[in-house]
Each structure stands twice: as C-alpha cells, then as structure tokens.
Amino acid sequence: MIVKKLFLYFIILAGLNACAGSGDQFMLKKMSARLILSSMDCGVSTEGPGLSVLSSRKELDEAMVRITRLTGHDFSGQIDVSFDREQIMRINMGQQRTGGYSLTLIAEQAIVKDGWAIIPVQWNTPAKDRMLIQVLTSPCLFVAIPRADYEGIRVVDQDGSVRLQSPLN
C-alpha cells in the first residue's frame, strides 16, 4: 500500500515537473510535510471539504478542543510544533453521513510550484454500491509544513486533482 502511494505521488510530481517548463518561477521546490494528527471525526459540521491554516499554538489549541470533546483524548499536549518555523494545515472532508471516508497523507513531502505549496493526500470515498454504516463523521488531517516563500496552499489527491486551495493572507 505504501509503495502504491509513493508511486502515485511520484507520478503526480513527474506530471507537475513536466508542466513546469523553464524559468525560475516554474521551478519545483521540495519541503517536508509532517503528519501531526489524523482523525475520523474533527467535529466539522459543514457539508463541504475545507482547508484551514493554523499559525499559532492558540489556533491549534482551539482546533483541538472539539476533537478532544468527541474522542475523549487530549491530543494538544502531544503535538510538537515550532510555530516560528512551521504552520499546520487542517485538511477536512466536511461532514459525511456514512463510514468509508478517510484522508491519508501520501508522502512526507510537499512541493512548492508557481508560489503554491502542494500537499499530496489520498482522498478516500466509498464505492457507490457499497453497504455502509450510517454514522456522522468528519475525517481530517493536521499536517505541518515549513514556513517558506509560498503564497497559498493546494491539496492534491491521488489522481492529481486539486481538492482544496487557499491563498495565505
């Protein structure tokens, strides 16, 4: 499974690199993408997916309050992030009405291309003909990436499709 994910990631990377052309503005830069937390329920009540940038310990603690209430486990004290060098991306699928949905970080590497940090994720949705448990979930990932020279974040799925994007203010 890991080999398949890495293969898909490198196909996406090769595709982005092939489209890059020449010139400094098109150069790809690799940087770390560190999984901080993966949860099947982040307490998100919106139907659509979302991307949030958490740039401080206070913002992270506020995001963790809801997860702590839902899971009964306080993760915030276990999260080691240096906010002067990193920021956290909260990637969520929105509220789902059945099981079978999940997010997985494909590789512990992001790419900066054309001024955007690109985070590769496996965006899992259940097959339409599958029998599923009826339960409300809101799958999410918290991913730390370095603060660097990029103007926005893009979340790209295993097929190379942009699922989410957000400019940085």
Q: What is the mean pLDDT of the segment spanning 79-100?
A: 92
143/23: higher pLDDT: 143
26/137: higher pLDDT: 137
Quick one: pLDDT at residue 46?
79
Position 130 confidence tier, pLDDT thresholds 50, 70, 90: confident
User: How does strand 152-156 pair with strand 109-113?
Assistant: unpaired
CA distance linking residue 141 with residue 75, whole number of Å: 13
Quick one: pLDDT at residue 22?
42
Quick one: pLDDT at residue 21?
43
The yes-or-no verdict on residue 53 having pLDDT over 50 is yes
CA distances from 162 to 39, 61, 85, 159 (A): 21, 28, 26, 9
Q: What is the mean pLDDT of the segment spanning 111-140?
A: 92
CA distance linking residue 90 with residue 144, whole number of Å: 9
The yes-or-no verdict on residue 37 having pLDDT over 50 is yes
Tens of pLDDT, residue by residue over 67-84, are 877 777 777 667 888 999
Q: Enter the pTM of the model.
A: 0.80
What residues contact 107, with CB distance under 8 A and at least 6 apart?
A: 5, 6, 9, 33, 120
